[in-house]
Structure 1
Amino acid sequence: MTDAPSLTSGVALRYASALFELAQDANALDAVEKDVEAFGTMLEESDDLRRLAESPLYSTDEQVEALDAIFKKAELGELTSNFFKVVAQNRRLFAANGIVRAYRSLMAEHRGEVVAEVTTAEPLSDENATRLREILADQTGRAIKLATKVDPSLIGGLVVKVGSRMIDTSLRTRLNSLKTAMKEVG
């Protein structure tokens, strides 16, 4: 049986690579990156858009029509808009979040950076983001681009993913570890 997350990430990487090549050919890498980031933010912030992307209950036509209206209102570029409408027509819109993440990684690699996915309980201040970027750059020896996300369920601390490495200093994880240790004792 195929592992669903790896299937999604494979599809996402293929589509993100295709978008990267299209943007490169059109000499529009930065403009497409801006549009992809905007779409990624929309996906994170809108439950309705996420449902539209992930639910198989919506027809291809409904998805394309909704995306067209959203992209026009958000004033996304034609290349990015058309690309994601093709993704929807191919019934692969469920991979949109993965495509956004993969495109970020491709752009970071193109610039010689490494993407660090950082999840915090509260938004990082500019000062803390700069300090974290410096620490990670020292550890990896490469320039770091932060992709931040807020998850209040962490309670405190942060989770950092750089490549295949993950550092979890969240209070939620520490409390779960303590809970497990207490069960083993009792």
Structure 2
Amino acid sequence: MADSSSPVSGVADRYAAALFELALEESALEQVEADLDRYSQMLDESADFRRLVESPAFSSEDQLGAMKALNERAGIASLAANFVGVLAQNRRLFTLPGVIRSFKRRAAEHRGEATAHVTAAQALSEEQKSALKAALKERLGKDANLDLKVDPAILGGLVVKLGSQMIDTSLRTKLNMMKSRLKEAS
């Protein structure tokens, strides 16, 4: 995943800004966001799709043809499908994950929502997601979208980032703090 200071992130942000403006102009914000969610789901679930998106070994024609077939199969025939075609033609399909993140952030800001980047040791159930959203809404005073990521290395608990704030209740952090205290005590 590219960090926010990388050139890939900058390109993804510019493409996302253009797509967002087009979606607003055409009153298609919800449809484009839903289609981008489908792409995101496909990226999460299919190693072949990730390889198609990330690998420079595929020509732009190969990527464009594959994306047309995928769009047809997934029922994506909107502005998002055309946009992804442009990414493929311009050899920028590798920016798709960053474009999705940036677009979703812009859409949430447009709706007055906050985005919480949540890292958990294992996938959260729908009940856990709802409880987390409710707790965040109470703290923020507004709805929060969850950008969920699973990282077994945190062992347990959650790491929640809201803008510049970070709430780290991970077991890994607690164990590291305990280890540090034990070193200081000896």
TM-score tier, shorter chain, comes to 0.7 to 0.9
1:125: which partner in 2? 125
2:82: which partner in 1? 82
Task: Give the Å deviation of 1:162.
Answer: 1.9
Preserved CA contact (<8 Å) 1:113 1:145: yes
1:18: which partner in 2? 18
After the TM superposition, which residues 34-113 of structure 1 pair with which residues of structure 2 at under 5 Å, given as runs? 34-113=34-113
Change in Cα spacing, 1:66 to 1:116, as seen in structure 2 (3 Å) is same
| Partner SS for 2:6 | helix
CA RMSD across the alignment: 2.6
| Identical-pair percentage | 50
Task: Give the Å deviation of 1:164.
Answer: 3.6
| More displaced stretch, 98-107 vs 168-177 | 168-177
Q: Which amino acid aligns with 2:116?
A: A
| More displaced stretch, 153-162 vs 83-92 | 153-162
1:169: which partner in 2? 169
Preserved CA contact (<8 Å) 1:32 1:77: no
Q: Which runs of 5+ in 1 are unaligned?
A: none
Is 1:27 the counterpart of 2:24? The answer is: no
Quick one: distance in 1 between partners of 2:53 and 2:5? Answer: 16
After the TM superposition, which residues 133-172 of structure 1 pair with which residues of structure 2 at under 5 Å, given as runs? 133-172=133-172
Quick one: distance in 2 between partners of 1:23 and 1:46? Answer: 27
Q: Which runs of 5+ in 2 are unaligned?
A: none
Q: Using structure 2 for the length normalisation, give the TM-score.
A: 0.84
Aligned residues, how many? 184
After the TM superposition, list the runs of 4 or more consecutive aligned residues in structure 1 that deviate by more than 6 angstroms. Answer: 176-185
Q: Which amino acid aligns with 1:133?
A: K
